[in-house]
Amino acid sequence: MSRALYRKYRPSTFEDLLGQDAISHILREAARQDRLAHAYLFAGPRGTGKTTTARLIAKIANCETRRTDKKFAAKGEPCNTCRMCTEIDEGHNLDVIEIDAASTRGIDDIRDLKENVRVAPASGKYKVFIIDEAHQLTKDAWNALLKTLEEPPAYVILILATTESDRVPATIVSRTQQFHFKHVTLETLVGKLKRIAKEEKIDISPEALELVATSAEGSFRDAESLLGQLVSFSGEKVTLQNVESMVGKVGFDKLYAFAGMLIDKDIAKALESLSSIYDGGYNVVQFTKDLIQYLRRAAVLRYNPEMKTLFMRELMSDHVAKLEAHAKSFQDKHIALLKALMAAYGQMKYSQFPIIPLEVAIIESLK
């Protein structure tokens, strides 16, 4: 695999941008009508499509096919084949300037930026500045940008991307069109991973892919890089065990089975199973954390079945069905178990024998 998966599979159209439907819709409409804004603020968690969308806008702004073919322009997408689109994809188009705010903090950098804004585009219609990690800009940099935002030259499009939008000054925010990127659902993540696995001929089971997606916590980039790492580590055939040992977490089925023993108050079976998990070299501290999370969801569902809609975003739908069954058997006694597990978790992290606090918690709360 010569190129990182997350680069290779970066969406090249709004059509391929997943889980951000409202944003895609508005921007495509703006592109159709040729009414892009001069300043955008993209806020939201890691790996959800901010930089990707910024590049889509850059391509749309300067795509040559869009300029010559009105019918194509009405699609609201870049062509991805003209010279401008290709250069932007390859990262060497002179009219698209990507700035990493984390490393562009000095006075000189800002002076360069200010001067650069004043120079008309080299070959495109627009000059697009993409400022990544914008929350890291200095006060001087913000002041300089504010000047540009107040009177942007007609050819300038400024896109600020950040994971921490509350660190962007209000004076800046109010001069931009804002979009809030969301964590995507687990099923959306798994869907894309499946497609990549198929195209890359990676042999990996659905459960293993689900665990990859679960540990990426809503970030496409993390999920895709993890898949890449797994392949370079274990080759084209990736087993659930490979994933478990790389991420240090167990797959859903193991968690479900274990939680079932606790809900049935089957202490003997739970202890035996726990010991085999421990002997299998799994990280019991992480296991306890996942278990607490699982039981917490069961408890919440027991007392508020409506919360299902939220869990449908974080879990696979067949897993939610299993969780619901557990929620039905959840009783007040299990609240004691949940409390005991949390106390045990605190002790385990510092213990020489991490399994013992967990065993004690199970015995004491369920006996």
Ligand X SMILES: Nc1ncnc2c1ncn2[C@@H]1O[C@H](COP(=O)(O)OP(=O)(O)OP(=O)(O)O)[C@@H](O)[C@H]1O
Rounded CA-CA distance 1/294 in Å is: 36
- Smallest gap from Cβ 96 to ligand X, in A, equals 15
Tell me how far, at minimum, the Cβ of 134 lies from Mg ion, in Å.
10
Residue 180's closest CA among 340, 358, 21, 15?
Answer: 21
Q: Which does 121 bind (CB under 5 to 8 A by kind): ligand X, Mg ion, Zn ion, none?
A: none
Write the interaction track for ligand X spanning residues 261-300; mark x where CB under 6 A is met and - where it is not.
----------------------------------------
Residues from 256 through 285 that contact Zn ion (CB under 5 A): none
Determine if 20 is a binding residue for ligand X (CB under 6 A).
yes
**Contact call for residues 45 and 260 (beta carbons, < 8 A):** no
In angstroms, give the least distance from the CB of 48 to Mg ion: 9
Q: Which residues of 286-305 are buried (b: 16+ CB within 10 A; e: fewer)?
A: ebbbbbbebbebbbbbbeee
Asked whether 223 and 189 are in contact (CB, 8 A), the reply is: yes
**Minimum CB distance to Zn ion, residue 78 (Å):** 5
Residue span 48-67 as binding mask against Mg ion, x where in contact by CB under 5 A, dash where not:
--xx----------------
Q: Which does 334 bind (CB under 5 to 8 A by kind): Mg ion, Zn ion, ligand X, none?
A: none
Contact code string over 211-250 relative to ligand X, x by CB under 6 A: ---------xx--x--------------------------
- Report the residue number, 46 or 125, with the smaller CB distance to Mg ion: 46
Q: Which of 17, 63, 168, 190 binds Zn ion (CB under 5 A)?
A: 63
Site for ligand X in 156-195 (CB under 6 A): 161, 163, 192
* Contact pick of 12, 51, 176, 242 for ligand X (by CB under 6 A): 51
Contact between 28 and ligand X by CB under 6 A: the answer reads no
Who's near 331: CB < 8 A, 6+ residues apart?
A: none
47 or 354: CB nearest Mg ion: 47
Query: Nearest Cα to 224, choosing from 183, 244, 195?
Result: 195
**Residue 20 touches Mg ion, criterion: CB under 5 A:** no
Q: Out of 41, 73, 82, 263, which residue is the one contacting Zn ion (CB under 5 A)?
A: 82
CB-CB contact of 49 with 220 (8 Å): yes
> Does the protein bind Zn ion through residue 209 (CB under 5 A)?
no
Q: Which residue, among 51, 162, 148, has the nearest Cα to 98 in the 3D structure? A: 51
Per-residue mark of binding to Mg ion, 220-259 (x: CB under 5 A): ----------------------------------------
Q: Which is nearer to ligand X, 50 or 254 (CB)?
A: 50
Residue 9 binding ligand X, by CB under 6 A? yes
What residue ranges bind ligand X (CB under 6 A)?
6-7, 9-11, 17-20, 46-52, 132, 161, 163, 192, 220-221, 224
Give the footprint of Mg ion on this chain (CB under 5 A): 50-51
